[in-house]
Amino acid sequence: MSKQMLTGSFQLMKSLNRSAILNIIREQGPISRADIAKLTKLTPPTVSNLVKELLDTGIIIETYQGESSGGRKPTMLDINSERFYVIGLDIGSYQIKAVLANLNGFIVKKASFSIPTPINNDRLLSLMIQAVHHMKEGIDDTESRMIGIGVGMHGIIDVDNGESLFAPNLNLYNIPIQKTLEKEFDILIKVENDVRAMALGERWFGNGHGTDSLVCINIGRGIGAGIIMDGKLFHGHNFISGEIGHMTIDIDGPKCSCGNYGCLQTLASGPAIARKAKTEIGLGHPSILTQLVGGDLGNITGETVYEAAAQGDPLSVSILSQAGRYIGIGLTNIIHLINPKRIIIGGGVSNAGSLILESIQDTIYQRALTASAKQTEIMLSKLGEDATALGAVTLILEELFATTSNA
């Protein structure tokens, strides 16, 4: 299938009835045409015609003969998940993580690319293009098998235009990601904030599966949230929903890079945890952290604090527990504001696992308003370091399997 045919096929797949059929096959396949007709309430001839069109695109396949209910055995249908690919890019502070995944979210290939310094818009875009070309290498017939490219980018994203308005950790503005990648690859491009992409990925393939009401928290260099309400990502009026790292927790707390004081990320992010450890050791509190970094306190990171805590270092355990309390206060505020069914925690700080999760849960239990709110499900990310890149893949899958369309 040529690229032009694939583009046309993608548009064909997007009509409302075809998408409804695709979704049912994705969720319940292998499934018969008759059962699809029952579930969609479309007439059997309509289902047969639409199924034929979808078979022609290669997006679905006939598998085996099902059980007969009195007549001819039905031919079962399933998504041809290994026929097509999606590339997902996670644009972070220091590197681009790239994955090539099939329609089931199975990662076929992944790689990382360091972001050089200094960096500007053109150099970053060139690196993205390089990453995509690298992911396509060695895969047979990628031109006809590639559905699209999803990008999860930290900072403020104009989702409608696929533009990065502000990437604070890179100090870059107005990066035309969608426009540039479309010009280079002539394929569907979707761009989203990294944590919102992560939330979508968790809902499809991780610990958010099966719930339409969840908040995904990424705790690393900064702290952000992706909010899903009624099964849909919530962006807010100016695309800044989920910036919980700038929720004020302590009005007398440290100054944040945003100019305010006592923001959550000044108290519980990876750098905040490292900064607290350096301060406490400087005040004379003993810790094996000193040995872990060879006596150079400047090398202490959030990760080394976790490593020390895992070895039973009292200071590190205390620092992570305190960070957990701050995060728990922030999450309690989210529970009172949005009341999600589930909160999923990802990012580097989440690697501390039970060392931080217990403190978070205890704080929520102490502070939440009602008995049911106290029991809000708090879970760690299932997708780990691939969460944002796989979430970027899911941006394309959401478009492909969308049940609404202008077509």
Binning pLDDT at 50, 70 and 90, where does residue 57 land? confident
What is the predicted pLDDT for the residue at 262? 96
Mean pLDDT of 236-263: 92
What is the predicted pLDDT for the residue at 13? 52
Write down the CATH superfamily of domain 85-204+392-400: ATPase, nucleotide binding domain (3.30.420.40)
Q: Return d(Cα 126, Cα 405) in angstroms, integer.
A: 32
Count of alpha carbons within 13 Å of 50, Cβ hemisphere only? 23
User: Average pLDDT over the chain, rounded to whole?
Assistant: 91
Q: Return d(Cα 112, Cα 89) in angstroms, integer.
A: 10
CATH match of 3-79 with 1.10.10.10: yes
Binning pLDDT at 50, 70 and 90, where does residue 5 land? very low
Query: Are the C-beta atoms of residues 366 and 400 closer than 8 Å to each other?
Result: no
Q: Return d(Cα 12, Cα 5) in angstroms, integer.
A: 10
What is the predicted pLDDT for the residue at 290? 95
What is the predicted pLDDT for the residue at 306? 93
Binning pLDDT at 50, 70 and 90, where does residue 351 land? confident
131 exposed, middle or buried (CB, 10 Å; 0-12, 13-18, 19+)?
buried
Q: Is 18 a residue whose pLDDT tops 90?
A: no
Mean pLDDT of 229-251: 92
Binning pLDDT at 50, 70 and 90, where does residue 14 land? low
Count of alpha carbons within 13 Å of 202, Cβ hemisphere only? 35
Mean pLDDT of 305-333: 96
What is the predicted pLDDT for the residue at 405? 40
pTM of the predicted model over 0.85: yes
What is the predicted pLDDT for the residue at 12? 52
Taking only the tens place, the pLDDT of each residue in 142-163 is 777 899 999 999 999 999 999 9
CATH number of 207-381: 3.30.420.40
Q: Domain map of the chain by residue range?
A: 3-79, 85-204+392-400, 207-381
Question: Tokens representing 344?
Answer: 């999923």
The b/e string for 218-234 (b: 16+ C-beta within 10 A; e otherwise) is bbbbbbbbbbbeeeebb
What is the predicted pLDDT for the residue at 101? 96
Mean pLDDT of 389-395: 97
- Fold match flag (85-204+392-400 vs 207-381): yes
Mean pLDDT of 380-406: 85
Helix H or strand E segment including 113: strand 107-114
What is the predicted pLDDT for the residue at 406? 36
Q: Is 318 a residue whose pLDDT tops 80?
A: yes
DSSP for 125-182?
HHHHHHHHHHHHTT-TTHHHHEEEEEEEESSEEETTTTEEEEETTTTEEEE-HHHHHH
Q: Where are the beta strands (DSSP E) in 210-354?
A: 214-219, 223-229, 232-233, 342-346
Mean pLDDT of 34-62: 92
Mean pLDDT of 14-41: 88
Q: Is 91 helix (H, G, I), strand (E, B) or coil?
A: strand
Residue 399, number of CB atoms within 10 A of its CB: 19
Q: Return d(Cα 48, Cα 27) in angstroms, integer.
A: 19
